[in-house]
Amino acid sequence: MLAMGEWPYMSSIDPEVTSNFFGNATAASKAVNVAFTFLFAIWSHKIHGIKKPMIIGRCITLAACVMYILVEFAPTHRRWWMLVCYLFFGVGFGTGPLLRSYMARVTSEENRSTAYALMSGAMVMSIVIGPPPIWCAVITNIAALAVSVFVLEDTVGDEIAAQQSIPSSFSLATIKDRLSNLRSLDIPWLLAVLVIIERMASNVFNTTMAV
């Protein structure tokens, strides 16, 4: 949804931009998002909490929002300014999975399904409404940063001792064991590859349909 609105805007503020550049910028943002999702997960696992990664992620996203607002003040090469914004957005959005893991830890079996339903409903509602104005994103990021600093509490204490008694999920032996279990599953790998290709193709279509 965001890509369909971003291309017309980028092409209007920088006439020299091409659809290939926009496609590469979008791909770079998603690649950075995947990489930092993994890095934030490792960091959270090491410190047994998500508060610090969440604060860092919100600060980076807020900085990207401010840069996005100021992009039209750049005299030239605005497409490169927006590329940096996309990369920062990719980094900041890498903290998203931490919230889902946090929700699983702090909710009980009775209210967990309700909590996940509310989160999924909020995500669907954001897609239906569409991308908000950037100033709205600034306000929501400031609110999220305030919640992360003053409200969010890491679950520590007995959980840390329990986690320390469990072999590390990132050890070589554990990774080999999980890969072995994955290979033993009866998964239609061809279908999985086709789904991945279809998702990639749909993203390319959304990126270039306005050209």
> How far is Cα 192 from Cα 166, in angstroms, rounded to an integer?
31
Q: What is the pTM of this model?
A: 0.76
- Burial label, 82 (beta-carbon count in 10 A; 0-12, 13-18, 19+): buried
What pLDDT score was predicted for residue 75? 92
Domain boundaries, the chain: 2-166
pLDDT at 161: 46
Low-confidence ranges of the chain (pLDDT < 50): 1, 157-158, 161, 210-211
> For residue 85, what pLDDT is reported?
95
Question: Helical H runs in 48-188?
Answer: 51-70, 78-92, 96-106, 112-129, 134-150, 158-164, 172-184
What pLDDT shows up at residue 185? 77
